[in-house]
Chains A and B, each alone.
Chain A
Amino acid sequence: MAASPSASLATGPWRTLWRRLRKNRWAMVGLWVLGLLYLAVVFAPFLSPYGYTTQFREQNWHPPHITRLHLWDDAGTFQGPFVYASNRLDEFTSEYEEDRAKPVEIDFFVRGETYSFLGIESNLHLFGSRDPTRPIFLFGSDKYGRDVFTRILYGGRISMSVGLLGIAISMTIGLLVGGIAGYFGGRTDFLLMRLVELILALPGLYLILVIRQVFGRDVPSTQSYLIVVLVLAFIGWAGNARVIRGMVLSIKENEYVTAAEALGQRRLAIIVRHILPNTLSFVIVTATLAVPYYILGEVALSFLSVGIQEPEASWGNMLRDAQDVRNLTDFPWVVVPGFFIFLAVMAFNFLGDGLRDAADPRALE
């Protein structure tokens, strides 16, 4: 035990944080899950067999193939991955029957629909079915016959980035407002903190809906994305500002702040360069734990039909299909996006908890 303080001094705060974090199994699980999720959504065009708007209208509400993948045929010979072709029973219901005589092979690194990724045009997909009229639906298809697996990957681009962008915006505002209020004090502090209290006293989701309404119902999909982020960040910054202000109040008593003042640095520069960096560990922990708020906020807004608009996919607006009880019983795969929301939120919670413990100076080694 006696060696640990000097050891942590020798390795520096970031190394210590990382070393402590690595010991926390659940935090590492969270980190891995998030890493995989972000990789998956970044490489969505390559990983998904189709485009997110591609419709196979004749095969809507097709059940998931993922539980019907085969490697061996009925005779017991190895065939590589394949599924059996399925035929619709009739055109009024969405019931399908497997045709055991007709296997559809799944190939890897196939040429399919063209997409552009990081400015590169390509048509290479990780996997796809050999028969173009018999698409592969790993997680089933939706009411228009779009591949749910594809839409989950593309939808994740929106759902997973809303959190990062939202927290970046609200944390920046929170840092600035909290820093200014804490450093200047007096009337500025009083006014800013009353504003913070006002926003914290507002009933969250009610207000979010009302603000969302200001932008009107019919907005293009790219705009609706920004609106969702801005609306959520507008509410989210206040709590951060309050805590940052409290930290700034004590940090500004340090001698190096007086030194910077004596050297005649501009006051805003003192706040940004000398005071705010000391709140970094708080900022990282809070940001990680706050990302779920934005992910869930997007889900709530899209679920209530004022978030991300069709044909764009997001995990929230995909869940809208589950609002119909008949879909829930007949096509249970409509809840699959929910599992991904759950997974992402849980991973952020695990990681955030681990970071908080690792950054806690009172914690025992």
Chain B
Amino acid sequence: MGVFIARRLLAVPPLLLAVSFITFLLLDAAPGDYVTRLAEDPHISAETLAELRHRYGLDGSLVERYGRWLLNAVQGDFGYSFSKEIGVFTLIGERLGNTLLLSGSALLLAWGMALPLGVVAGVRQGSVLDKVVSFISFFGLSIPRVFFALLMVMFAATTKWFPVGGMRDLVEWDTFTPWQKVVDVAHHLVLPTIVLGTTQMAAYMRQMRAEMVETLGKDFVRTARAKGLSTRQVVWKHAFGNAVNPLITLFGYSLAALLTGSFLVEVVFAWPGLARLTVDAVFSQDEPVVMASVVMATVMLVVGNLIADILLGAVDPRIGVG
């Protein structure tokens, strides 16, 4: 196991190098740069523009600039955001927390619902609950998240039961007690979590049901039944443990999607997470911010996939990862 993890970790630096270089290359290939937009203002002279380019580090060749970025990045310095004029680390750190809060609670909802529902649907095939589960699965797999999110915003705006967007009450936030703050954020969190959670839940639930159906047909389950165990013991003690194996890999992959999966939902709900920040940074060619978020999302993907593989090796002794 140790060798396996070490080998996988060794592959990460070259991957990050390649990803960051490709991103840099693409950003460079886009017409204009951050300063180009300022050039439209006649009050800004050519000298000022040149000076700004120098200050932002936009002068010099591609290799030179990438080298400079890389040298700083490996020391943990991702530079300053051009547009927001604060350190990329501070900027992204706060947004990252918000994104993780949203996708984390969606992950909890998705798995918390998918496992029990999938198991019960698999045990009681053809029951009403089974039909409801398969309906939710198809609905969740097919409904575009943007559309679902828009419907939810519409619902919130019409009923006024939930806020239509954002993460906190902008007016009264400062007067809130800590407890009220928690409640307020939770209130804002409900709808985006439902959208993200149900769409993710669908795939897991379907898989859980299929695995359960297959496992219940196996000989060892029949043996367990034959020796007189109760249905509950057969299902949860014997069948579940075996049926859940393939889903553990899926869980790892869902960790990998934590940063990127909520993208459009964040945009629709004006959630102050990474998505909006990255979209704006890409459009305004705020290089340091784009670079940092791409690198971070890649790290998250790699770590998630690695966890998936490790978990699979840990739960299934037949799969040797050594």
Contacts and interface: CB of A to CB of B under 8 A. Distances in A.
Interface string B281-316: 011010000100110011011100000000000000
Interface stretch (B54-62, B112-120, B147-155): B147-155
Nearest to A353: B138
B282 A210 contact: yes
A217 B283 CA distance: 9
A263 to B, nearest CB: 41
A251 B278 CA distance: 44
A339 B148 CA distance: 10
A332 interface: yes
A205 B260 contact: yes
B18 interface: yes
A210 B26 contact: yes
Contact of A202 (B285, B298, B300): B298
Interface stretch (B64-72, B88-96, B157-165, B170-178): B157-165
Interface in A291-309: 292, 296, 299-300, 303-304, 306
B126 to A, nearest CB: 15
A338 B150 contact: yes
B35 interface: no
Contact of B278 (A206, A319, A345, A346): A206
B107 interface: no
B143 A342 contact: yes
Contacts of A209: 278-279, 282
Nearest to A346: B142
Interface residues of A, number: 40
Contacts of B3: none
B62 to A, nearest CB: 14
Contacts of B154: 328-329, 332, 335
A123 B165 CA distance: 46
B123 interface: no
B39 to A, nearest CB: 15
For chain B, give the interface size range: 35 or more
A341 B144 contact: yes
A203 B157 contact: no
A203 B147 contact: no
Contacts of A323: 268
Contacts of A205: 260, 263-264
Contact of A346 (B31, B138, B260, B264): B138
Given A210-B26, A216-B30, A203 B260 contact: yes
Contact of B147 (A197, A304, A319): A319
Interface in B19-43: 19, 22-23, 26-27, 29-32
Contacts of B101: none
A21 interface: no
Contacts of A201: 15, 19, 298, 301-302
Contacts of B293: 206
Given A216-B31, A323-B268, A328-B154, A296 B278 contact: no
B142 A342 contact: yes
Contacts of A335: 147, 150-151, 154
Nearest to B295: A203
Interface in B98-137: none
Contacts of A345: 142-144
Contacts of B298: 201-203
A213 B283 contact: yes
Closest 5 CB pairs of A and B: A338-B147, A203-B297, A346-B142, A328-B154, A213-B30
Given A210-B27, A341-B147, 7 more contacts: A203-B301, A207-B23, A214-B29, A300-B146, A300-B263, A303-B146, A342-B143
13 contacts: A202-B19, A202-B22, A203-B294, A205-B260, A207-B294, A210-B23, A216-B30, A296-B144, A328-B157, A338-B147, A338-B151, A346-B143, A349-B141
